[in-house]
Amino acid sequence: MANDKERAVLLLEDGTRFDGFSFGAAGEQVGEVCFNSSMTGYQEILTDPSYAGQIVTMTAPQIGNVGVNPEDMESERPHIRGFVVKENARLVSNWRAVESLSAFLCRHGIPAIEGIDTRCLVNHLRENGAQRGVLSTRDFDTASLRAKALAWPGLTGMDLTGEVTCAAPHAWKEGPIAWKEGIWTPDGGKSAFTGETRRVVALDFGMKRNILRGLVSVGCDLRVLPATATLEQVLAEQPVGVFLSNGPGDPEAVGHAIDLIRRLLEKNLPLFGICLGHQMLCLALGAKTRKLKFGHRGGNHPVKNLLTGQVEVTSQNHGFVVESDGLPRDLEVTHLSLFDGTVEGVRLRSAPVFSVQYHPEASPGPHDAHYLFRQFAELLA
């Protein structure tokens, strides 16, 4: 495991350099440098497949104080390229922890840097936009590192769904995590839902586990299919609805999925999309997407529900957004960001189809938007 005296450097494509210390695996990674403003939930962020291809900076000053545990994993492993914090907590103070953050990152080969001015880094990204960068514990030459950053193609035009999707179709039965007999545990394959379950296909473009738990909690009998699934494979499951998951990369680059969604729309099945699923659904309907300057990532993003007038505090993680101009007439905007006015949710006026840009399952974050799972369940025949 790395010790405090091992050097590490983060270099951005514009030449901005941050020198610090390694607290993860030795090595070097290139990715898009972004930031997340969540105060808690670093383990869920690390294991969210939507972060594939990214070097994540946390804005909270101290990270790692609750260690890492099996229950908070949102996938089998971390998907980030690198991790950046102001200070890595040496003392793990949580009874659920099985290892430290540093040990977890080392075990999975993820380089990490601490001891830098993260406020300066975040301000730089806000002013200049998300940038390609290199996090290294072995190369400290500025010119060499910058050349590596500039050689990386970046996330625009990149389809990363194949790196993070499930290997094969499978069922998912696990319901929400609950407090039982003094421990946090999944409900053993049962959920609070006691009515008749309905078969739903969940297309995995990089799905978080808590999304699946949320769907189970409203009565979905889930069959998870890989991102490469065909229309024939989806229909063979005889679903009464289809869920389109979150995931990493540029939505416009995932042409095979957009084509599949177009064909699913012709079947008039209820569709529900989150994040990347939302973006690809809108593209399939004729909308456009664009890359945000520095993205929305954090657990405190206010979103206005235009249908009810209520404001939801939401968890978000995305670098691309659906353009509000030129939307098809049948596509109604239902939610807007109160930070920058970008589109956060849509629905079709003529079909049981809707999607949101944010994460109603949270993990981490608030649960204001969990009603969207119930809304989807109400559409299922």
Cβ–Cβ < 8 Å for 303, 314 = yes
pLDDT of residue 2: 45
Active-site residue identified among 106, 166, 220, 275? 275
Contacts of 354 by beta carbon, 8 Å cutoff, 6+ apart? 271, 272, 273, 334, 345, 346, 347, 348, 375, 376
CATH number at residue 87: 3.50.30.20
CATH number at residue 332: 3.40.50.880
Cα 246 → chain centroid = 6
193-202, 236-245, 301-310: the lowest-pLDDT one = 193-202
pLDDT of residue 263: 98
275 is catalytic: yes
Condensed to tens digits (0 to 9), the pLDDT of residues 82-92 reads: 999 999 999 99
Condensed to tens digits (0 to 9), the pLDDT of residues 152-188 reads: 999 999 999 999 999 999 999 998 876 555 555 555 4
The Cα angle at residue 41 between residues 53 and 56, in degrees rounded to 5: 25
Cα 235 → chain centroid = 27
Q: 220 forms bridges with which residues in the sheet?
A: 198
Please state, in angstroms and rounded to a whole number, the distance separating the CA atoms of residues 309 and 21: 47
Q: Please name the amino acid found at residue 280.
A: M
Residue predicted with more confidence, 178 or 46: 46
Q: What is the DSSP string of 157-215?
A: T---HHHHS-SS-EEE----EEEETTEEEE-TT--S--S--EEEEEEESS--HHHHHHH
Q: Do residues 318 and 188 both lie within one domain?
A: yes
Q: Do residues 238 and 184 both lie within one domain?
A: yes
pLDDT of residue 56: 98
Of the residues 151, 186, 220, the one at which a domain ends: 151
Q: Do residues 129 and 242 both lie within one domain?
A: no
Residue 306 included in any domain: yes
Q: Do residues 166 and 105 both lie within one domain?
A: no
pLDDT of residue 189: 44
SS3 315: strand
Q: Do residues 61 and 191 both lie within one domain?
A: no
Of the residues 97, 127, 151, the one at which a domain ends: 151
68-72, 179-183, 371-375: the lowest-pLDDT one = 179-183
Contacts of 181 by beta carbon, 8 Å cutoff, 6+ apart? none
Q: Do residues 80 and 165 both lie within one domain?
A: no
The mean pLDDT value of the chain amounts to 95
Count Cβ neighbours within 10 Å for each residue of 89-127 and write b for 16 or more, e otherwise: beebeeeebeebbbbbbbeeebbbbbbbebeebbebbee
Q: Do residues 65 and 26 both lie within one domain?
A: yes
Domain count, the chain: 2
Q: Do residues 66 and 209 both lie within one domain?
A: no
318 is catalytic: no
Q: What is the DSSP string of 349-376?
A: SSSSEEEESSBTT-SSS--TTTHHHHHH
Active-site residue identified among 32, 312, 344, 361? 361
pLDDT confidence of 381, banded at 50, 70, 90?
confident
85 membership: H or E segment, kind and range: none
Q: 198 forms bridges with which residues in the sheet?
A: 220
Residue 185 included in any domain: yes
pLDDT of residue 368: 96
pLDDT of residue 250: 98
Condensed to tens digits (0 to 9), the pLDDT of residues 133-146 reads: 999 999 999 999 99
Residue 1 has pLDDT above 50, yes or no: no
Condensed to tens digits (0 to 9), the pLDDT of residues 276-317 reads: 999 999 999 999 999 999 999 999 999 999 999 999 999 999
Please state, in angstroms and rounded to a whole number, the distance separating the CA atoms of residues 103 and 123: 29
Residue 3 has pLDDT above 80, yes or no: no
**Residue 117 sits in which domain range?**
7-151
Q: 136 forms bridges with which residues in the sheet?
A: 9, 28
The whole-number average pLDDT for the span 38-54 is 97
278 is catalytic: no
Judged by phi (left if over 0) then psi (alpha if -120 to 50, else beta), residue 91 lies in: beta
**Distance between first and last Cα of the chain:** 53
pLDDT of residue 185: 53
Q: 28 forms bridges with which residues in the sheet?
A: 136
Residue 1 included in any domain: no
Condensed to tens digits (0 to 9), the pLDDT of residues 331-340 reads: 999 999 999 9
Q: Do residues 278 and 211 both lie within one domain?
A: yes
pLDDT of residue 195: 75
Q: Which tokens is 39 given?
A: 């105060």
% the chain with pLDDT above 70: 94
